[in-house]
Amino acid sequence: MELAMDSITLTDVRKEFQEAEHVVHAVDGVDLAIKRGDFATLAGPSGSGKTTLLNLIGGLDRPDGGDIKIGGESTGDKSDDQLSDLRLRKIGFVFQAYNLIPVLTAYENVQFVLQIQDVPESEHKGRIMPLFEEIGLTGLENRFPSQLSGGQQQRVAVARAVIGDPAIVLADEPTANLDSETASNLLDMMRKLNEEKKVTFLFSTHDPMVIDLARRVIRLRDGKVTDDVKKNGGESA
């Protein structure tokens, strides 16, 4: 099913956590619409709610209030199995800690997505190897995560996130712990995927390099959106 023009829509979304003797409003009444094909970032200091918001959008956590729609479809009334299927078919994740499966090679980590999507095995190599070439992983396909650098592991994580042709990729601090050159190359690769495949990217970050590259910057503080600016001549959302 084709996603609606607003591929992600949040209405008064809230998430609270109990911390010691007080309640933390991690996400506090957020209204937001991410257009299909956006290359946007959630920017803000640690504790501003960036990762919590990504987890809510991706269905890894459930909001305490408000509504989240993916392609016009509300996620609030979906079962855990239905949310898992939504993530499998529509959403790719790039985690700060990579989350690669240590006993699988780089190739197998990416192939795993195709396997659980029931893509015929005869198609796997023809889809994976061109992607590996595109993002600079050729020759590394048989290495295990422990045999790869941080930048190489993050590239595998990106390949795994996009191999299933998701409409949306959510990336949590994708440049954390990477040197500036590796981070720049990784971001260039993501921007290319965005421009050529029209994949919607939503990052969480406090990295100035990511913020500079993004075409839209959504600033958070204390769980609230404080600013939402489209760059390159665009207007505030």
pLDDT in tens, 71-86: 888 888 888 888 888 8
Q: Which long-range contacts (CB under 8 A, 24 or more apart) does 13-16 make?
A: 13/53, 13/56, 13/63, 13/65, 13/66, 13/67, 13/68, 14/63, 14/64, 14/65, 14/66, 15/49, 15/52, 15/56, 15/61, 15/63, 15/64, 15/223, 16/64
Q: Does the residue 24 lie in any domain?
A: no
Instruction: Write the CATH number for 113.
Output: 3.40.50.300
- pLDDT, residue 136, reads 82
Where b means 16+ CB within 10 Å and e means fewer, 162-177 reads: bbbebbbbbbbbbbee
Q: Are 40 and 215 in contact (CB under 8 A)?
A: yes
Domain that holds residue 171: 37-59+80-230
Q: Does the residue 167 lie in any domain?
A: yes
CA distance 137 to 141: 7
pLDDT category at 55 given cuts 50, 70, 90 is very high
- pLDDT, residue 133, reads 87
Q: Does the residue 181 lie in any domain?
A: yes
Residue 113 CB neighbour total at 10 angstroms: 21
- pLDDT, residue 178, reads 77
**Mean pLDDT computed over every residue of the chain:** 88
Q: pTM of the full predicted structure?
A: 0.86
What is the percentage of the chain residues whose pLDDT exceeds 70? 95
- pLDDT, residue 237, reads 40
Helices (H), ranges, the chain: 50-57, 80-90, 106-116, 124-134, 150-162, 180-197, 208-213
- pLDDT, residue 232, reads 65
Q: Does the residue 6 lie in any domain?
A: no
- Report whether pLDDT(3) > 80: no
- pLDDT, residue 98, reads 84
The region, left, alpha or beta by phi > 0 then psi within -120 to 50, assigned to residue 201 is: beta
- pLDDT, residue 76, reads 85
Q: Does the residue 30 lie in any domain?
A: no
- pLDDT, residue 228, reads 94
For the ranges 15-19, 33-37, 216-220, 232-236, the maximum mean pLDDT occurs at 216-220
Average pLDDT over residues 193-213: 89
Q: Does the residue 151 lie in any domain?
A: yes
Q: Does the residue 187 lie in any domain?
A: yes
Q: In which element (H, E) is residue 28 found?
A: strand 22-35
Average pLDDT over residues 140-145: 96
Looking at the structure of the chain, the number of domains it has is 1
Q: Does the residue 72 lie in any domain?
A: no
pLDDT category at 235 given cuts 50, 70, 90 is very low
CA distance 66 to 73: 14
